[in-house]
Amino acid sequence: MNEVVQYLDNLVTTINPGLDMPVPERHPCQKQKSEIRDDQQDYIDLINKLQRHTRCSPGYCLRIDKEGRQFCRFKYPKKIVEKTFVRDDGHGQPELVTARNDLYINPHSRLQLQGWRANVDLKPILSIHAALQYISKYASKAEPRSAAFSDILNQILNESQPEDPLLTSVQKLLLHSVAEWDISAQETCHILLGTPLYHSSRQFVILNLSNEIPRWIRGTGESEKSPDSGRTEKSPLVAYWDRPTELEEFSLFQLYLTHRLVKNRWKECQKENIVRIFLRPSPLREGPQWEDFCHIKVLLHVCHRDLQQLTENETIAWSTLYNNHLEEINTDPIDLLGQPIGNAENEIVVEEEEQLIEDDEEDEFRFDWMFLAEMGLNPSFNCSSDLGSRDMDRNHDWINDPRQRYNDTDLRDIDTFISSDSRISTEEENLTVDYQTLNDNQKKVFNRIESHYHDVLVEHQVEPLRIIVMETAGTGKTYLIEAI
* 204-208 vs 274-278, strand pairing mode: parallel
Q: How many CA atoms lie within 13 A of 158 on its CB side?
A: 6
pLDDT reported for residue 422: 63
* CA pair distance 256, 238, nearest whole angstrom: 13
| Tally of residues, the chain | 484
Boundaries of every domain in the chain: 2-126, 348-374, 422-483
pLDDT reported for residue 349: 47
Contact call for residues 61 and 73 (beta carbons, < 8 A): yes
* CA pair distance 480, 475, nearest whole angstrom: 10
The DSSP string of 297-344 is: HHHHHS--S-HHHHHTTTTS-HHHHHHHTHHHHHT-S--SS---B--H
Closest CA to 51 of 82, 83, 17, 6: 17
Burial class (CB in 10 A: 0-12, 13-18, 19+), 275: buried
Q: Mean pLDDT, 10 residues at a time, over the chain (484 residues)?
A: 87 92 89 90 93 86 88 92 89 89 93 92 88 83 75 86 87 80 78 86 86 52 48 78 92 93 90 89 89 92 88 88 90 85 54 53 64 71 68 76 72 71 57 77 87 86 83 78 83
Contact call for residues 299 and 280 (beta carbons, < 8 A): no
pLDDT reported for residue 300: 92
Q: Which amino acid is at 48?
A: N
pLDDT reported for residue 426: 56
pLDDT reported for residue 429: 54
What's the longest Cα–Cα distance across the chain?
Answer: 125
Backbone angles phi, psi at 216, to 5 degrees: -145, 170
The DSSP string of 71-86 is: EETT-PSPPPBSS-EE
pLDDT reported for residue 97: 92
**pTM reported for the whole predicted model:** 0.37
Q: Which residues contact 185 (CB under 8 A, 6 or more apart)?
A: 140, 142
Alpha helix ranges (H) inside 34-184:
39-50, 110-116, 128-139, 149-159, 166-179
3-state secondary structure of 233: strand
∠ at Cα 98 (95, 101), nearest 5°?
Answer: 145
Closest CA to 302 of 234, 340, 250: 250
Which residues on neighbouring strands pair with residue 205, listed in sequence order?
Answer: 275
pLDDT reported for residue 106: 93
Backbone angles phi, psi at 145, to 5 degrees: -65, 140
Residue 179: other Cβ atoms inside 10 A: 8
* CA pair distance 154, 461, nearest whole angstrom: 81
